[in-house]
Each structure stands twice: as structure tokens, then as C-alpha cells.
Amino acid sequence: MGDFFMQIRILVLLILSSFLVNGCLPTRNMNDPLPLSKMRTVITNKEILANNSYRHLNERKISSKTLELDSARWKAEVEPLIGQTNIFIFPFGSSVLPGDEKFSTLQDYRFTIFCSVGPDAYIPTAKRYALMDRVHIDGIALQQQKDITDRFFNSEEVIDEARYR
């Protein structure tokens, strides 16, 4: 059990430097191979990798069958490239909770650390899993949720106004 909680601590400390891995990127031609040279660099550098689902679907809104298919595809196509991870980061900050069939499906794929989005630290743990909220730092947060981002830096100093013209 010590290793499990050590992984949680590492995740908390390194969440900003971790990569969220999807199998399908909308900007990538799906007939082209994944950029393996870049993947190898990440793996060689021993980055902590997390699953962000294969097709970046909202787990709360999709069917259990769709989640099963998405998870199977990630395991078959992405996991062989990066290795196994026990960290699942819900796309869109969504989540499914313990007791939900979808949560059990994700556990069946050996995920034990589940991350959503929230404004504050939230890390409840149980024997077989840990739930964690992470602060999203994106354009919406920088412009509309400064009370959250200002704990870390002054949003006015980092936002690129040219992007919003």
C-alpha cells in the first residue's frame, strides 16, 4: 500500500509536468503513425504518463459500452507504446464515481488514481483507488476564474491578449 500512496504524492508534486496521453488527436492524420521519436524521448526521460482516454470522450455522458471500447482501444494501441499507467485523467474535468459501472470498468483496466478538475485540493482515498481534483489552467480559467489561478500567478501577466482578438 505504501507504493500506492507514494504514487499519489508523486502525482500531486508532478502533475504540471506530467503528460496526458490520448490515442487520437483531432489535428493528427489517423493514417500517419504516432510520432514515435517524440514518444521515445518522453519515455526515456521517465515522465509520468497518464491516460486521458483514447478519444477524449466525456465519460459521464458516454455509454458503458462506449467506455469499454475506448478503454480497450487505448490499451491495445497506446499502452504498448508508453507502458502501463494506473493514472486516469478524466477529459473535460468530468468524472464517474465509485459505485458507477463505468468506474468499475476503469478499475478493470487497472486504473487506481482518478483525476478530475476542481478549484481546491481534493484527495479522498480508499483501499483500491484515490480520487483527485486538479486545477485546470487554460484560457477559461485565466480569463473567468482568476480567483483560482491568482493563487499561483497573476493571470494578467501570463495571458496572451493576441489570442483573444
Q: What is the DSSP letter of 31?
A: T
The closest of 145, 163, 146, 162 to 154, measured between CA atoms, is: 146
Residue 39 cell numbers, joined: 514518444
pLDDT (0 to 100) of residue 38? 55
* 96/58 Cα distance (integer angstroms): 10
pLDDT (0 to 100) of residue 19? 47
Domain boundaries, the chain: 2-134, 137-165
Whether 149 and 134 have beta carbons less than 8 Å apart is answered as no
pLDDT (0 to 100) of residue 9? 44
DSSP states of 120-131 as a string?
S----B-SS-EE
Mean pLDDT for each consecutive 10-residue tract of the chain (165 residues)? 47 41 47 54 66 89 96 88 87 90 97 86 84 81 84 80 68
pLDDT (0 to 100) of residue 142? 82
Q: In one letter, which amino acid is 3?
A: D
Which helix or strand (DSSP H or E) is residue 93 part of?
Answer: none
In three-state secondary structure terms, 16 is: helix
Query: How many degrees, rounded to 5, is the angle at CA 82 between CA 88 and CA 49?
Result: 40
pLDDT (0 to 100) of residue 43? 58
In sequence order, the β-bridge partners of residue 132 are: 115
May I ask the CATH class of domain 2-134?
alpha beta
Which runs of consecutive H residues, i.e. helices, occur in the chain? 2-14, 36-44, 64-77, 79-82, 101-108, 139-144, 146-149, 155-158
